[in-house]
Structure 1
Amino acid sequence: MDRDFRFGVVGESIRSGADLTRTARRAEELGYDVLVLRDHFVAEPFGDQLAPMVALASAAAATSTLRLGTMVLANDYRHPVLLAKEAATLDHLSGGRFELGVGAGWLRDEYAAAGMPFDAAGARVGRLEESLEILRSLLGGQQTTFAGDHYRIDGLTTFPRPAQPPPLVVGAGSSRMLGIAGRHADTVGILPRALPDGTISEEVTERLPDTIARKVGLVRAAAADRDVELSMMVTPTFGPDPRRAAARVAVLRGWGASAADLVLDMPSQFLGPPEHVAEQLLARRDRYGFTYYQVSDEVMDEFAAVIPLLTG
C-alpha cells in the first residue's frame, strides 16, 4: 500500500522572529505538513540561520497542526544526551509535533570556523550511528546504558518522556550512511554524497535515476522489514514547457544545455505546470517510493498549487 504524500517547507530565508512566525503560519495555511530548519552557524552556503531547536519551539507556539523538524542537526555539534533532552522537551511543548533529523556533519568550513576538529568521515559517521542508538533509547523512555567507541551512558533516562517517540530522520548520500539510515531512521532523506573536502557533490551522476534507485535499494535492504519513509528536498521549476524549464536548470547548475534530457529525468527536479508536477510525483512514488518532499520557503507559495492535487 502506498504511503500518503507529505510536504515540508525548508525555512531557508528566515532571518528574524517575525519571518519565522509568518513563514510557519503561511506554511500551515497552505496545507504543508512540516516546517524544517537547517543547522548551521556560518552564512554560507544557505544564508544566516536561527538556532533550529529554539526557533522551532517558537514556531510551535505560533501554529497548531504544523509539524516541526530539523534538516538535519550535525551530530558533532551536540552530545546525544543533551539532544535527547532538548528533543523531548520540544516534542512536549509542541504537543507531539516534533521530528528529529540528524546527520553526521559535513561542512568543513563550519568546523574550521568554530575551531572544531573535522574528523575523517568514518569517525563522524561512527559517532552518528552510536548517537542514533542512544537517541532511540532515551526518547523511547528507556533507562539507557551504552558503551561504544565514542559515547558512554550509564543508566540514564530523559524527561519529559514523549507519549510517542519523535520520528528520527537521517539524511544520507553515501553507501555506509544509507545503510545506517535504513537501520535506524523512520524517515530517510536521500542526498547527493558528501565529499572528503567538506562539500556536497555537484556531479550530474549523483542525481540520475539509476543512482537514486541504487540508493533507495540500499536503504530498503538495510531496513529489512521496517517501513521507512523516503524523502527528498526538491527544486520545482514551474512553466508551461517542461523541456525549456529543464534546459534553464541545466545551464544554471553548470551542466550545460545539452543536459536538459538528464534534468527531465532527475528525481529531484520537477518541471512544468502544477498538474504535470503532480503526475511526476505520482510516477516517482511508484518507481522509487518517495512520499515526503521538502521545498524551499522561497517557492512555497508557488508549489502549494500542487498539494491539493495529491492530498484531496
Structure 2
Amino acid sequence: MSVTNRPFRFSCQAYRSTSAREWRELARKIEDLGYASLQVPDHYIGPGPALGPTGHSAQVLAAVPALAMAAEATSTLHVGTRVMCTGYRNPVVLAKEAATLQLLSEGRFQLGLGAGWLAAEYAAMGIAFPPARERIGLLAETLDLVRQSFAGGPVDVRGTYVDVTGFSAVPVADPPPPVMVGGGSRRVLELAGARADIVSVNFSNASGVLGPEALASSTPERTRRKIDWVRAGAGERFDDLEIEIGVYFAAVDSGTGGGAGQLSARTGLDDEQLSAFPHALVGSADTICEELERRRAEYGFSHITVGEAVVDDFAPVVARLSGR
C-alpha cells in the first residue's frame, strides 16, 4: 500500500481537563465521534516566566496517567503520546511505562517519541539541554531499547547515551505498540523514516519558540523537503510508513470555533497562504475533505491530528473520511 492511498485515521490531541470526570467524558466523546485515538503531548511546567516567552501553552495533565485513565474509560479508542521527550526520563523507565500501557489498554497504545526542543522547559526543570546531535543520539538509542524491551528476552544496549544490560524486560508488549517518531529536522525525520512505524512531520523548532520561524519552517515547499528526508531515511520501506501531521489551525465553516480571519490574525498568513499551509485546514467540511485528499496525494499524510478545541467542529470530516 502506498502512503498516498493509505486509509485516513484521525486523532485528537488533548491535555487541558481539570477533573477526572471532565477527562473521562472527553475521552468518551472522542471515541463516540469516530476518532481513532486520543494523544497527549509530554510537557510539565505550568504558566510562568519560563514558559511565557516560548509561545507554548501549559499542559495540565501528564501523559502517562492521563492515557491510562482514558484507556480505562473507553473500549475501542487508542491512546498515545505525541510525543514523549526522551530527555525527560530514564529510557528503561520510559520503555516499561510504554509496555505497561500497551498491556493494560489491551493493545490500544501508541508510543510517540521525540528528541526534545523546548529549552526553556529543560532549564526550568533543572535538566541539561544537550546539543541537537546528542539529543538525537539519545532518541536513536532509546528506539533500540524500546524495541528490545517490547520483544521480551534479554535487554542489552551499549550505546553512547543508553548503556543498559543484565535483565529481561517485563511486561512483554504483545503485540508491541506501534512507534511514532516526530520532529521537523532532517536528522530526526531521516531517523523516523528508517526506524519508526509512524512518522510525525512537525515544525522545525530549533529556536525553542513557537513563532514566525516555526511557521516558516512548514510552508508547502519546506514540507515537501521534509517528506524527501523521510523518504531518504526509509528507502524501500517508505510505503510501509504511516505519515502523521498535526493540524494546529483549523476553522470549519459550520463549526462554533473561530473562522479563517481569526486564524490569519494568529498566524500572519493571508487567506491563500493559510489554505495551503500543511498545519492548517479552513473552509467547509467538503472543502477540507477535498484538501485532505489532495495533501495525502502530495505529501502522504493519512494520519491527521486536531486539537480538542475543534473536536466537535471537525467530526463531520472524521465521519466522512475515516477508513477511506
- Alignment partner, residue 244 of structure 2: 231
Q: 1:142 to 1:216 in 2, by over 3 A?
A: farther
What residue identity is the alignment partner of 1:233? G
Q: 2:126 matched to 1:115?
A: yes
Q: CA deviation at 1:164?
A: 1.1
Count of residues in Structure 1 that have an aligned counterpart in Structure 2: 305
What is the rounded CA distance, in whole Å, between the counterparts of 1:82 and 1:298 in structure 2? 32
What residue identity is the alignment partner of 2:266? L
Q: CA deviation at 1:51?
A: 1.6
- Alignment partner, residue 24 of structure 1: 27
Q: CA deviation at 1:64?
A: 0.4
TM-score by length of 1: 0.93
Q: CA deviation at 1:247?
A: 5.0
- Alignment partner, residue 107 of structure 2: 96
User: After superposition, where does 1:200-215 map in structure 2 within 5 Å?
Assistant: 200=210, 202-203=212-213, 204-215=215-226
Quick check: 1:246–1:264 contact (8 Å CA) kept in 2?
no
Quick check: 2:10–2:322 contact (8 Å CA) kept in 1?
no
| Moved segments of 4+, more than 6 Å | none
Gaps of 5+ in 1: none
- Alignment partner, residue 265 of structure 2: 251
Q: How many percent identity over aligned positions?
A: 38
Q: Paired residue for 1:78, among 66, 79, 89?
A: 89
Q: CA deviation at 1:90?
A: 0.8
Q: Paired residue for 2:160, among 149, 153, 161?
A: 149
Q: Paired residue for 1:49, among 60, 67, 82?
A: 60
Between 29-38 and 50-59, report the one with greater CA deviation. Answer: 50-59
Q: CA deviation at 1:238?
A: 1.6
Deviations 1:126-152 (A, max 9, x none): 111111111111112242211111111
Q: 1:311 to 1:116 in 2, by over 3 A?
A: closer
Q: 2:146 matched to 1:135?
A: yes
Q: 2:208 matched to 1:198?
A: yes
Q: CA deviation at 1:250?
A: 2.5
Q: CA deviation at 1:201?
A: 5.4
What is the rounded CA distance, in whole Å, between the counterparts of 2:228 and 2:290 in structure 1? 23
- Alignment partner, residue 284 of structure 1: 295
What residue identity is the alignment partner of 1:252? R
What residue identity is the alignment partner of 1:98? F
Q: 2:14 matched to 1:11?
A: yes
Quick check: 1:15–1:48 contact (8 Å CA) kept in 2?
no
Q: CA deviation at 1:185?
A: 1.0
What is the rounded CA distance, in whole Å, between the counterparts of 1:174 and 1:104 in structure 2? 10
Deviations 1:36-72 (A, max 9, x none): 1111111242223212111111111100000000111
Deviations 1:95-142 (A, max 9, x none): 000000111111111111111111111111111111111111111224
Match of 1:20, SS state, is helix
Q: 2:19 matched to 1:38?
A: no
Match of 2:172, SS state, is coil
Quick check: 2:15–2:61 contact (8 Å CA) kept in 1?
no
What residue identity is the alignment partner of 2:241? V
Q: CA deviation at 1:16?
A: 2.3
What is the rounded CA distance, in whole Å, between the counterparts of 2:212 and 2:177 in structure 1? 32
Q: 1:274 to 1:75 in 2, by over 3 A?
A: same
Deviations 1:251-281 (A, max 9, x none): 22134xxx32222211221111111111111
Quick check: 1:193–1:201 contact (8 Å CA) kept in 2?
no
Q: 2:313 matched to 1:310?
A: no
Q: Paired residue for 2:309, among 281, 294, 298?
A: 298
Gaps of 5+ in 2: none
Match of 2:208, SS state, is coil
TM-score by length of 2: 0.89
